[in-house]
């Protein structure tokens, strides 16, 4: 029996390594988004600074490990076998759940995941124990106060961080304005002193208070002399930052990089428990059981020893630090999660990752009404002065940056300060929630959410917040079920659950790679969003349009062929795959239209008049082409899914030949568009006219067949729909080529 539990402990450590990787991928957004978004330094330099912070924090961590030992469950009432069941269920759930969120590029809280997984697994075993023993109740087995404090922490994190982020950034912008270099002569020293002092306070109170080298006397001395330390720090660093300014050193960069280091160190020092706390608890339990529990067995040995404090060997902490640094440097998913936060908080308009929802639209309308009411109350002189501080055309933003150094500094300093204050007040504020919502609050105060982008940004924020609550519910529910399965299923259930978890991780990795490949943004689009002149924008738009419309025609070629072939051969799986591709392509079309609208605003009025109509027509024809294939696929899928009578042999033969010719037409058009070669388009026009004539002939034949009451009316209606949408596909493809040529051509007098 000991061999089985030894294998479980080894597997827990194997999962811990993977958990460290996916955990860092998720939490990297906490300490990297501000420095990366403001382009404070090269990405490599930022990673090095953050990596040092992560390694130092992980190597010195120890005190927070107790949450996995006795933070949620009361170990004195659980047997060794039950504790191992809970811990295994927690780790299996945690790695899969975090990997799913990372693959979606959505930041979530590892703390909330761990707590609710422990709560779900503990409740499952507690219900079993209460049912078997009338002397016990749930209050004896579960630490409900801890779970409630975490839930309260979620609401406090979201509301407080967003509110103070908005207020503090507005004040900072009033002081420095967007052209901050003109307004920092005397204020930068004090601002830098306050910022660095807040960071030092954060490092002492949050980052180092529970580290291994901190003795009880040292912590007490820091507590007793906090105000004296902060006062001396404020005076010293104010003078130092002013001196840096006189020496032509960018003080904001110093603040951002120091804040990045402090947040990274605090993250590793305090959140390490979320990744290795459970395996270490399993290891400690196994050592205690093999040493003292041999006589009573795994089902009779109570884990009272877990009530004691954690004493983590240094080599575990050192190894965890190394793994986290490597993961931070190499994880592409970490970059994906960072991108979500930076995109939602960037200063300028551009390609929006998220769409529009009714809730977001309602919130925008309410906010506009409230803002309008407040504006009417304020004096005109104050409004005029405030507007001078928010002149975006004067913003000093690094090339390729999402926002300036002022906002990056506020993000890091305020996030660190709020987390430190929450810790001192015994409030379990999540680092993920605080850093993300501070970034959203500062971006709102900076007027980064304009009328043309606010609805998309709010949708993104709501999606992320919704994901946080989904995390809690999913973690609790999944771990509850897994714990019950392992408890009642024994060794076989353990093997099955481990296998399913491994397969789920592999599948998630494969899907992520495919999704990344599909959504990979071209270099042209990046240049287009950063272009400054009308001539450069038009040139990049032409190139980007060719790339995007080529993808649309490639989709049309593949999906039209897949839909028709699957329907003619009654392949339900193929039709479902085609329908899924239609839904995905519709989202890409909407994104393409939003990007085009933003790019059009960069063109001068003359160019817009000459080329704008062709561009918008091209997008419309591309959209209609996608929707035509969707309208073709939908009735075919319903027909086959209901097992209705198929087309007869004549209908299959007639339409199959025409469908092949249509696919060939789309293929030829795609090649011409891709190569930007519209010569000899007369052949495609002739072919399109012939195909439409053939389809009209098939339509007349089918109508005659219906009048003569030959064959199934249901089949005939589907067939007529297929013919009509096939005609639309041909028409929209040719129209797309016509307007694309007019948009691409340099000489407006060239006509088809």
CA R_g for the chain: 31
What average pLDDT score do residues 293-315 get?
A: 77
Residues 482 and 549 reside in one and the same domain: no
Q: Give the other-Cβ count within 10 Å of 675's Cβ.
A: 10
More confident residue, 449 or 615: 615
On whether both 99 and 227 belong to a single domain, the answer is yes
Residues 434 and 546 in one domain: no
In this prediction, residue 259 has a pLDDT band, given cuts at 50, 70 and 90, of confident
Q: Are residues 505 and 635 in the same domain?
A: no
**Can you tell me the distance from the alpha carbon of 98 to that of 96, in angstroms, rounded to the nearest whole number?**
6
Q: Are residues 505 and 590 in the same domain?
A: no
Q: Of the residues 491, 515, 539, which one is the last residue of a structural domain?
A: 515
pLDDT, mean over the chain: 81
The domain containing residue 664 runs over which residues? 524-744
> Please, are residues 737 and 672 in contact by the beta-carbon 8 Å criterion?
yes
Query: H helices within 61-143, ranges in order?
Result: 66, 80-103, 110-132, 138-141
Q: DSSP letter for 521, please.
A: P
Higher pLDDT, 9 or 711: 9
pLDDT of residue 691: 93
Is 109 contained in some domain? yes
Does the structure show a pLDDT above 80 at 720? yes
- Token digits of residue 81: 């076998």
The Cα 558–Cα 575 span in angstroms is: 12
Evaluate if residue 597 carries a pLDDT over 80. Answer: no
List, for residues 633-652, the tens digit of each pLDDT value. 999 999 999 888 888 888 88
d(CA 419, CA 218): 21
Note whether 502 and 544 are same-domain residues: no
With cut-offs at 50, 70 and 90, classify the pLDDT of residue 553.
Answer: very high
Q: What is the pLDDT of residue 418?
A: 78
Taking 70 as the threshold, does the pLDDT of residue 15 lie above it? yes
pLDDT surpassing 50 at residue 751: no
Residue 268: alpha-carbon gap to chain centroid? 21
Average pLDDT, integer, range 577-582? 91
**Residue 427: pLDDT above 70?**
no
Q: Evaluate if residue 291 carries a pLDDT over 80.
A: yes
Both 353 and 372 in one domain: the answer is yes
Residue 534 and residue 482 in one domain:
no
Q: Tokens in use for 55?
A: 């390694």
Last residue of some domain: 487, 515, 543? 515
* Cβ atoms within 10 Å, residue 258: 22
CA angle 606, 530, 178 (to 5 degrees): 105
Q: Is the pLDDT of residue 749 over 50?
A: no
* Contact indicator for 603, 612 with CB cutoff of 8 Å: yes
Angle at 501 between CA 495 and CA 506, to 5 degrees: 125
Question: Which two tokens mark 637?
Answer: 């899928």
Which pLDDT tens digit goes with each residue over 363-400? 777 777 777 787 788 888 888 888 888 787 777 887 76
Task: With respect to residue 665, please indicate whether it lies within any of the assigned structural domains.
Answer: yes
Residues 418 and 376 in one domain: yes
Domain end: 515, 539, 570, which one?
Answer: 515
Q: Are residues 55 and 25 in the same domain?
A: yes
Contact call for residues 72 and 146 (beta carbons, < 8 A): yes
Are both 234 and 162 inside the same structural domain?
A: yes
Query: What's the structural domain count of the chain?
Result: 2
**Which residue, chain included where needed, has tokens 């978004």?**
37
Q: For residue 178, is it left (φ>0), alpha (ψ between -120 and 50) or beta?
A: alpha
Among the ranges given (60-69, 252-261, 434-443, 494-503), the one the predictor scored with the smallest mean pLDDT: 60-69
pLDDT (tens digit per residue) in 334-353 = 666 666 666 666 666 555 55
Domain check: are 105 and 153 in the same one?
Answer: yes
Please tell me the predicted confidence (pLDDT) of residue 627: 93
Measured distance CA(265)–CA(271) in Å, rounded: 10
């Amino acid at each position: 029996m000991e061999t089985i539990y030894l294998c479980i402990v080894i597997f827990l450590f194997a999962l811990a390594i993977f958990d460290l990787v996916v955990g860092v991928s998720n939490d990297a957004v906490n300490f990297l988004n501000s420095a990366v978004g403001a382009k404070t330094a090269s990405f490599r330099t930022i990673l090095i600074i953050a990596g040092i912070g992560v390694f130092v924090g992980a190597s010195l961590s120890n005190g927070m490990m107790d949450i996995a030992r006795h933070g949620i469950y009361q170990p004195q009432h659980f047997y060794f076998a039950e504790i191992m069941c809970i811990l295994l269920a927690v780790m299996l759930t945690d790695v899969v759940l975090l990997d799913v969120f990372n693959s979606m590029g959505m930041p979530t809280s590892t703390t909330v995941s761990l707590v609710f997984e422990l709560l779900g697994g503990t409740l499952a075993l507690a219900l079993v124990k209460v049912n078997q023993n009338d002397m016990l109740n749930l209050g004896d087995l579960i630490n409900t106060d801890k779970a409630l404090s975490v839930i309260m922490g979620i609401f406090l994190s979201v509301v407080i961080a967003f509110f103070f982020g908005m207020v503090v950034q507005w004040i900072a912008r009033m002081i420095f304005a967007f052209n901050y270099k003109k307004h920092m002569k005397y204020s930068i020293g004090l601002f830098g002193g306050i910022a660095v002092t807040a960071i030092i306070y954060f490092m002492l109170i949050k980052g180092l208070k529970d580290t291994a080298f901190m003795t009880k006397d040292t912590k007490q001395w820091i507590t007793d002399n906090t105000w004296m330390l902060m006062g001396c720090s404020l005076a010293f660093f104010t003078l130092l930052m002013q001196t840096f300014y006189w020496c032509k050193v960018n003080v904001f960069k110093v603040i951002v990089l120091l804040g990045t280091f402090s947040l990274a160190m605090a993250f590793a020092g305090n959140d390490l428990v979320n990744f290795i706390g459970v395996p270490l608890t399993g290891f400690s339990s196994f050592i205690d059981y093999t040493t003292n529990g041999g006589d009573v067995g795994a089902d009779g040995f109570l884990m009272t020893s877990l009530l004691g404090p954690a004493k983590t060997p240094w080599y575990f902490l050192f190894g965890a630090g190394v793994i986290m640094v490597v993961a931070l440097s190499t994880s592409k998913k970490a970059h994906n999660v960072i991108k979500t936060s930076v995109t939602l908080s960037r200063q300028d308009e551009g390609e929006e990752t998220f769409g529009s929802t009714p809730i977001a639209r309602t919130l925008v309308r309410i906010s506009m009404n409230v803002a309008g009411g407040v504006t009417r109350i304020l004096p005109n002189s104050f409004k005029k002065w405030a507007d001078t501080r928010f002149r975006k055309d004067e913003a000093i933003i690094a090339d390729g940056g999402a926002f300036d150094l002022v906002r990056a500094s506020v993000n890091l300093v305020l996030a660190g300060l709020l987390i430190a204050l929450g810790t001192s007040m015994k409030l379990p504020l999540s680092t993920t929630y605080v850093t993300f919502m501070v970034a959203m609050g500062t971006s709102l105060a900076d007027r980064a959410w304009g009328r043309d982008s606010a609805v998309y940004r709010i949708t993104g924020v709501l999606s992320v917040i919704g994901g946080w609550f989904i995390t809690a519910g999913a973690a609790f529910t999944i771990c509850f079920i897994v714990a019950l399965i392992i408890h009642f299923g024994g060794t076989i259930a353990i093997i099955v659950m481990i296998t399913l978890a491994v397969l789920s991780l592999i599948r998630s990795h494969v899907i992520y790679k495919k999704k990344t490949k599909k959504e990979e943004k071209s270099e042209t689009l990046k240049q287009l969003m950063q272009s400054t002149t009308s001539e450069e924008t038009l040139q990049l738009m032409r190139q980007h349009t060719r790339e995007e419309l080529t993808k649309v025609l490639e989709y049309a070629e593949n999906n039209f062929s897949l839909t028709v072939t699957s329907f003619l051969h009654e392949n339900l799986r193929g039709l479902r795959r085609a329908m899924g591709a239609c839904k995905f392509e519709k989202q890409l079309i909407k994104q393409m239209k939003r990007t085009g609208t933003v790019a059009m605003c960069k063109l001068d009025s003359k160019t817009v008049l000459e080329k704008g109509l062709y561009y918008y027509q091209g997008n419309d024809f591309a959209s209609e082409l996608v929707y035509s294939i969707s309208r073709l696929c939908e009735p075919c899928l319903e027909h086959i899914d209901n097992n209705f009578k198929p087309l007869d042999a004549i209908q299959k033969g007639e339409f199959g030949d025409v469908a092949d010719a249509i696919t060939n037409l789309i293929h030829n058009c795609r090649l011409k568009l891709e190569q930007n070669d519209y010569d000899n388009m007369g052949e495609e026009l002739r072919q399109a006219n012939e195909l439409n004539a053939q389809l009209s002939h098939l339509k007349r034949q089918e109508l005659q067949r219906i009048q003569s009451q030959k064959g199934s009316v249901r089949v005939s209606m589907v067939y007529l729909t297929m013919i009509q949408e096939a005609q639309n596909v041909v028409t929209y493809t040719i129209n797309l080529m016509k307007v694309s040529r007019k948009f691409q051509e340099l000489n407006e007098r060239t006509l088809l």
